[in-house]
Chains A and B, each alone.
Chain A
């Protein structure tokens, strides 16, 4: 059955939308990322107008992350303190990012900026994760302890002031790195239209050295608030949130995320990171091909005023 989307002004097959929501929700539950970086390209591929795709994705990510946060909350794998500190940085970052995006849009280069930042960020994050997870998987097979995370290890982060105790993560570190991380992710999420979990998760693991199980719940916690705010902002500023599209994406998403969380609990940290690294690299590669391959039509049309 086809349904009509009142904001996108087109009709879509509800099962396709439900399926996309489910698939992305599953991966979200598995990896602890919002999934916006997967859903937005999927919707574009299906022919949803870009601005509606970006804005409506935010509402789906809100639902999926809320569901995920609840699941992690019950397993006590959310570091609320860490999440709140990052959120403060995130809100400032989002404000700056919205401004930067408006400037890029006026220059007519927002599309290129989005693709380029996706490729650079996903490519480097994916490469780092792939390298690390392969190494720790190999180390585990040889019977050595993984070199990836040693909770007691000291690095430059421990020399910074304003230390806070993050109980859930069993960390006593400065508030500056999580604030800065939230800020940077806020900027990126405003520009790229995603929650930013796929950047946050690796930084929390490798730089902040939080335990992997707490990382996922905590990043979902932060993404929840960022995307909820983004949904409302998009609705107010651009009138481009399609609630009918959102409903089907959300329905698929919240069911998918439950299965994802269950599968995720069975897999080991290194395996999870290896899978996510591969996924991230595939998306980056896809986007890179899109940038260097000659388009079918060199011209593109945008209806309406800029």
Chain B
């Protein structure tokens, strides 16, 4: 992406480079901010901000009515889809650049193309269903007017990170468009990780699963006994 205008450039930052999921985490907002240096005319300039979580494999199933009952009857396995995807822009994406350009940079939900590992029939309906489901759960989000211009050259984007995001390495990408093509782009890694007690519990569950299971049972038995003892005295 050779800059069309050598001068015009982008600097951006994220309010935090680590999102720590603690025991009382209920979701947070990231702020992506930035400025345009050596700014040219504002009319044909656009900014697109993408936050993308680690890719994952997803299985999408379709129910059909068989003998009066809705049964999973067909499926597709889609890989290479992000577990979290947020995109914001200064205008609707279709007005910013051509579909080919958007597809090249994976910009917008329509541009997200999974690798189809296996599919009963055409993969497109499954992809659409996946976008619907992830949008419903807040993990995919598209905000055509989400880039807030504080001044002709300063911008800010609020990125909601819901509690259900998976841990892993995320990527914050900021694109500067001029006349429909990218003239500058910046990418910043962002880590989402469980910390403190939540992390220790998760470690325990995965590293020592047998003891974790036994601990859970002992906890259950202890509390069962305790309640029984307390209520007996109380009666």
Which A-chain residue is minimally distant from B68 (CB atoms)?
A292
Q: How far is the CB of B177 from chain A (nearest CB, A)?
A: 32
Chain A positions within 8 Å of B22 at CB level: 4
- The verdict on B63 contacting chain A, using a C-beta distance below 8 Å, is yes
CA distance A228 to B224 in the complex (A): 13
Chain B positions within 8 Å of A255 at CB level: 227
CA distance A71 to B217 in the complex (A): 19
Known: A109-B71, A301-B129. A257 touches B61 (CB 8 A): no
Which A-chain residue is minimally distant from B211 (CB atoms)?
A235
- The verdict on B221 contacting chain A, using a C-beta distance below 8 Å, is yes
- The verdict on B23 contacting chain A, using a C-beta distance below 8 Å, is yes
Chain A positions within 8 Å of B71 at CB level: 109, 112
Q: B213 contacts A254, CB within 8 Å?
A: no
Chain A interface, DSSP helix/strand/loop, else mixed:
helix
User: Which size class do A's interface residues fall under?
Assistant: 35 or more
* Contact string against A for B residues 62-93, beta-carbon threshold 8 Å, 1 for contact and 0 otherwise: 11110011111001010000010000000000
* Contact string against B for A residues 209-251, beta-carbon threshold 8 Å, 1 for contact and 0 otherwise: 0000000000000000000100111111001010110110011
Q: How far is the CB of B63 from chain A (nearest CB, A)?
A: 5
Q: Which A residues fall within an 8 A CB radius of B? A: 1-4, 6-7, 9-11, 59-60, 62-67, 70-71, 74, 108-109, 111-112, 116, 228, 231-236, 239, 241, 243-244, 246-247, 250-251, 254-255, 257-258, 262, 291-295, 297-306
Pick the contact of A6: B26, B201, B216, B226 (CB < 8 A).
B201
Known: A3-B24, A231-B220, A243-B219. A298 touches B213 (CB 8 A): no
Chain A positions within 8 Å of B232 at CB level: 74
Q: A297 contacts B132, CB within 8 Å?
A: yes
* Contact string against A for B residues 194-235, beta-carbon threshold 8 Å, 1 for contact and 0 otherwise: 100011011001100110111111011101111110011001
* Contact string against A for B residues 154-186, beta-carbon threshold 8 Å, 1 for contact and 0 otherwise: 000000000111110000000000000000000
CA distance A3 to B228 in the complex (A): 26
CA distance A24 to B109 in the complex (A): 41
Pick the contact of B70: A67, A232, A291 (CB < 8 A).
A291
CA distance A236 to B214 in the complex (A): 10
Known: A4-B21, A236-B209. A299 touches B26 (CB 8 A): no
CA distance A108 to B61 in the complex (A): 9
CA distance A258 to B223 in the complex (A): 12
Q: A250 contacts B59, CB within 8 Å?
A: no
**Could you pull out 11 A-B pairs where Cβ atoms are within 8 angstroms?**
A7-B202, A59-B217, A108-B75, A112-B69, A112-B72, A236-B210, A244-B23, A292-B70, A295-B63, A299-B60, A301-B60
